[in-house]
Amino acid sequence: MSKNQEFVKFDKVDKSYDGKVLVVKDLNLDIAEGEFITMLGPSGSGKTTCLMMLAGFETPTNGEIYLDANPISNIPPHKRGIGMVFQNYALFPHMTVYENLAFPLKVRKISKDDIDKKVDKALSMVSLSGFENRMPAQLSGGQQQRVAVARALVFDPAVVLMDEPLGALDKNLRESMQYEIKHIHESIGVTVIYVTHDQSEALTMSNRIAVFNDGKVQQLSSPDKLYEEPVNSFVAEFIGENNTFGGEVVDLSNGSCKVKLSHGEILANPISVKSKGERTTVSIRPERALINPENKMDNNHAGTIEEVIYHGDHTRVRLNLLGNSEFILKVPNSSKNLDIKLGNKINIGWNSQDARALDPK
């Protein structure tokens, strides 16, 4: 059975709250059935608004949202059958865990026996069996979070929305919950639309990530592509670490371009530059630049070490390179003892293929 590639479809959706500013601009987004898609972006980028429109708490100013090919703008939230996990869990504080989970089943007039079975199953899925009679206030943050997930899934919705569900947890718990949610998604195959501003969360969990900025989707692709091949300088900047050079294209030929910087010239991979004379921002991932490369690389420059920070598994080195004093290198600590000392001059090399010439900042 082929999966519906347009299970959730945003079709030219605009949203404005005050009639002056568009919070979401001309959004087109297709989400496949069973997919785990993350909307990633800084706060105020419109990602939560999109989620709220899908859940039915906000109406699109223009355009239409389809769920399984049915337009849903005129369907009230309670008839959409979309599960939702809220930022602060939104567990009903006056109900026990059991009652919280039974709520969506009771309003659907499901028999008592079936409710018991479903609640049992949902609780064991999040490994909280035996907590039925606890009040939400008696649970830890992580447990509350899991109850919220179980509640959003207990009535077998086709789509589950998660609005920064791990934002309130501490780092370790957040990481283990990321895997837990991912595993739940894999085992039951529900479509998950996840909103976060934490890029590592997005990279760990998603099939695809939609990077939002300024009300628009900047890039929609798989996590690896997003990291390795950002299509514009916002995405390059937002996902992972990034060294940038601003300059002007002086030569463009054979899938490579020459960019003139304030100090010197580099070769780069032209992604969004089309002609000579354009301004551009060249982006290089820290791990793609090597110290004293053995193989000949087509970019080779000398830089001065300005700062060395020990990070356990790796050492971060800040260099002054070609006039950029914020050039970061990550040196694995297992590697051969390089001469990394403050003030030393070292040679840095990278392939022009890894230096992506993007739109100017």
Partner 1 sequence: MSSETQQILTTDGIPLSVSLKKAERKNKIKAFLLVVPLLLFLIITYILPIGDMFMRSIDDKMVTNMLPKTFTAMEKWDGKEMPPEEVFAGFYSDFKILVQNKEHGKLAQRLNKEKNGFNSIIKKLFRQVQRNKIDEGQSIKEQIMKVHKRWRDVEYWQAIKRTAPPYTTAKYLKGMDMYYGPDGNIMQVEEDRRIHRILWLRTLEIAFFVTLFSFLMGYPIAHLLATLPMKYSNLLMICVLLPFWTSLLVRTASWMILLQQQGIVNDFFVMIGLVADDNRPEMMYNKVGTYVAMTQILLPFMVLPLYSVMKTISPSLMRAGKSLGGTPFIAFWKIYFPLTIPGIGAGCLLVFILAIGYYITPALVGGASGTLISNQIAYHMKTTLDWSFASAMGLMLLTGVLVVYWVYNKLVGVDNIKLG
Indicate whether 107 belongs to the interface with partner 1 (CB under 8 A): yes
Per-residue interface string for the shown chain with partner 1, residues 8-47, x marking contact by CB under 8 A: ----------------------------------------
Record the tokens describing residue 334, joined without a space.
């297992």
Indicate whether 98 belongs to the interface with partner 1 (CB under 8 A): no
Out of 23, 55, 181, 211, the only residue in the binding site for partner 1 (CB under 8 A) is 55
d(CA 66, CA 128): 35
Indicate whether 146 belongs to the interface with partner 1 (CB under 8 A): no
Query: What minimum distance in Å lies between the beta carbon of 102 and partner 1?
Result: 10
DSSP 352: G
Indicate whether 88 belongs to the interface with partner 1 (CB under 8 A): yes
Out of 3, 108, 279, 361, the only residue in the binding site for partner 1 (CB under 8 A) is 108
Indicate whether 136 belongs to the interface with partner 1 (CB under 8 A): no
Out of 19, 93, 277, 312, the only residue in the binding site for partner 1 (CB under 8 A) is 93
Indicate whether 66 belongs to the interface with partner 1 (CB under 8 A): no
Give the Å distances, CA to CA, from 81 to 96, 132, 291.
23, 24, 55
- Residue with smaller CB distance to partner 1, 184 or 259: 184
d(CA 47, CA 200): 17
Q: How many CB atoms lie within 10 A of CB 186?
A: 10
d(CA 213, CA 23): 10
Supply the angle between the helices 141-153 and 112-125 in degrees, to the nearest 10.
130
Record the tokens describing residue 83, joined without a space.
């599960």
DSSP 283: E
Indicate whether 73 belongs to the interface with partner 1 (CB under 8 A): no
**322 phi-psi bin (left φ>0, alpha ψ -120 to 50, beta other):** left
Record the tokens describing residue 171, joined without a space.
């780092």
d(CA 127, CA 184): 11
Question: Segment near partner 1 (CB under 8 A), from 104-112, 195-203, 262-270, 282-290?
Answer: 104-112
Query: What minimum distance in Å lies between the beta carbon of 196 and partner 1?
Result: 17
Indicate whether 82 belongs to the interface with partner 1 (CB under 8 A): yes
Indicate whether 277 belongs to the interface with partner 1 (CB under 8 A): no
Out of 84, 162, 184, 346, the only residue in the binding site for partner 1 (CB under 8 A) is 84
Indicate whether 345 belongs to the interface with partner 1 (CB under 8 A): no
Beta bridge partners of 290: 349
Indicate whether 255 belongs to the interface with partner 1 (CB under 8 A): no
**46 phi-psi bin (left φ>0, alpha ψ -120 to 50, beta other):** left
- Residue with smaller CB distance to partner 1, 54 or 169: 54
CA dihedral 27, 30, 36, 40 (to 10 degrees): -20
Query: What minimum distance in Å lies between the beta carbon of 128 and partner 1?
Result: 18
Name the residue type at position 63: G
Q: DSSP secondary structure string, 48-86?
A: HHHHHHHHTSS--SEEEEEETTEE-TTS-GGGT-EEEE-
Out of 66, 98, 155, 227, the only residue in the binding site for partner 1 (CB under 8 A) is 155
Out of 9, 15, 151, 208, the only residue in the binding site for partner 1 (CB under 8 A) is 151
Out of 17, 21, 57, 339, the only residue in the binding site for partner 1 (CB under 8 A) is 57
Indicate whether 56 belongs to the interface with partner 1 (CB under 8 A): yes
Out of 5, 42, 71, 78, the only residue in the binding site for partner 1 (CB under 8 A) is 78
Q: How many CB atoms lie within 10 A of CB 290?
A: 17
Indicate whether 80 belongs to the interface with partner 1 (CB under 8 A): yes
Closest CA to 12 of 64, 58, 75: 64
Query: What minimum distance in Å lies between the beta carbon of 78 and partner 1?
Result: 5
Question: Segment near partner 1 (CB under 8 A), from 23-31, 91-99, 185-193, 217-225?
Answer: 91-99
Footprint on this chain of partner 1 (rule: CB under 8 A): 55-57, 76-84, 86-88, 90-94, 103-104, 107-108, 151-152, 155, 161
